Amino acid sequence: MEMLATIEEKAAVIPPIDAATPLKTVTATFALG
């Protein structure tokens, strides 16, 4: 329960842009020298 409450609190303050983050993403890796 304690863990759930923590997650809930975190969800309440999470920036909206992060809340809207798509779950499915593609990864790219670069080195720029």
CA distance 5 to 24: 26
Of the residues 2, 3, 8, 18, which one makes contact with another protein according to CB under 8 A: 18
Instruction: Please name the residue that has the structure tokens 């997650």.
Output: 7
Question: Using the rule CB under 8 A, is 1 a contact of another protein?
Answer: no
Does 2 bind another protein (CB under 8 A)? Our answer is no
| 13 near another protein (CB under 8 A) | yes
C-alpha–C-alpha distance, residues 23 and 20, integer Å: 9
Place of tokens 């969800």: 11
Residues near another protein (CB under 8 A) are 10, 13-18, 20-22, 25-33
